[in-house]
Amino acid sequence: MKFNTDVLHAEQLHARLTGSYKPQAMAHVSPIYQTSTYVLEDFDTAVYLNQHVDEGFVYTRFGNPSCDELEKKIAHLEHAEAALSLASGLGAISTAVMSVVKAGDHVVFGDVIYGCSYALFAKVLTNLGVTYTRVDTTKVEEVEKAIQPNTSLVYVETPANPTLKISDIAAIAQAVHKHPNITMIVDSTFASPYLQNPLDLGADMVVHSATKYLSGHGTVTAGVIAGSKARIDHCRMPYLQCFGAVLDPFAAWQLMQGMKTLGVRMERHCENAMKVARHLEKHPKVNRVYYPGLESHPTHEIAKKQMHNGFGGMMSVDIKGGMDAVRTVMNNVKVFSLATSLGNVDSLIQHSPSMSHFDMTPEERHAAEIFDGQVRLSIGIEDADDLIADLDQALALV
């Protein structure tokens, strides 16, 4: 072979020139399949796999061995038949939602959900002929009352971003499934599979922004969907096929490395968050702490029943003094990083009204108890005493 042929094909283990593929090592850490396409055995195999993408690999937009391994891990953790990995949390949410709704349908979702999820329902799907009703999903009777003959989806975020309201997944699922044409999707990002398994409680699909606790280190943007094989196959083809929110194989590999420590990380997140929440609840410059582990939280009892191993690492705090006080605190914390994400090993702080929930009007935010003086804390795995001291010195400047 001449050079340009040789440099492409020599010693390639899959190549016909060197015979059939034979593994050279049983790697302890899974390899990264950083490839966009795959060499197929023959014409008939190529035709078959292009028409049955769930049975092999033909093109990474449809599936990839690294992503496939991640999906199997997610399905296992969420007690699901199958899972799908995507390029972002919103990629997962929008793909799951679009696999359910069509023009003329009606959707019910919570009055407190992530701002971009709200924008999907209120600013995108409405242009496609989908209507919606927002309700307090902590009240099952409100969910039931909102259901219409053309309702196709009930979407629940629990714990809710940013007020940490906990909705009773099992009770809502029981009410929803009286209507066989309605699908229930739960965004369980704040909980992670360590704390909550919505499918066990009756949900049809569960979505996560895997960027957050599943990754845990702020290095990956990713999302996942888990559910029955039929639903996940439908999400993959034609929705992922056409929308193209495909997770990069290297990102899938990084995410799997992060997931190895999910349990030990979540244990520390929960322990630290409880200490910080109890301290701030008594702080003279704090009006209110929103943390489901506190007895004062209005949905604490649901959280005790529904979540296992703890109450998570997220909380919001109303600071006395409004926006000026928020600015002072956020500009003067030293251990907390001012960042709009969450779920990292290091602690983060953000202002939900102007950052994650800016798409809502002031009236909508206030009705949902997202006030101007509210900060959201993502409690990391540092020493809790250092986190408390950092917040105390910043609050002392208010």
CATH number for the domain that contains residue 131: 3.40.640.10
- 148 and 200 inside one domain: yes
Tally of domains in the chain? 2
pLDDT at residue 25, as a whole number: 73
* Active-site residue, from 168, 187, 204, 248: 187
* Active-site residue, from 61, 278, 304, 320: 61
How would residue 13 be classed by pLDDT, with cut points 50, 70 and 90? Answer: low
- 132 and 239 inside one domain: yes
- 82 and 214 inside one domain: yes
* Active-site residue, from 73, 134, 165, 212: 212
- 270 and 384 inside one domain: yes
265: annotated active-site residue: no
145: annotated active-site residue: no
- 328 and 254 inside one domain: no
User: For the segment 264-277, what is each residue's pLDDT rounded down to a tens digit?
Assistant: 999 999 999 999 99
Q: Which amino acid is at 298?
A: P
Alpha helices for the chain (secondary structure H): 3-9, 43-51, 65-77, 89-98, 115-119, 140-146, 169-176, 192-195, 229-234, 241-243, 249-259, 262-281, 300-306, 322-332, 362-367, 384-395
With the C-alpha atoms ordered 86, 91, 92, 97, is the resulting torsion angle positive or negative? negative
- 371 and 324 inside one domain: yes
pLDDT at residue 177, as a whole number: 96
pTM assigned to the model:
0.94
- 95 and 207 inside one domain: yes
- 251 and 378 inside one domain: no
C-alpha 264/C-alpha 268 separation (Å) is 7
User: For the segment 69-127, what is each residue's pLDDT rounded down to a tens digit?
Assistant: 999 999 999 999 999 999 999 999 999 999 999 999 999 999 999 989 999 999 999 99
- 246 and 180 inside one domain: yes
- 172 and 289 inside one domain: no
pLDDT at residue 324, as a whole number: 94
* 235, 259, 283 - which closes a domain: 259
The CATH number assigned to the domain holding 311 equals 3.90.1150.10
114: annotated active-site residue: yes
User: The domain containing residue 324 runs over which residues?
Assistant: 262-395
212: annotated active-site residue: yes
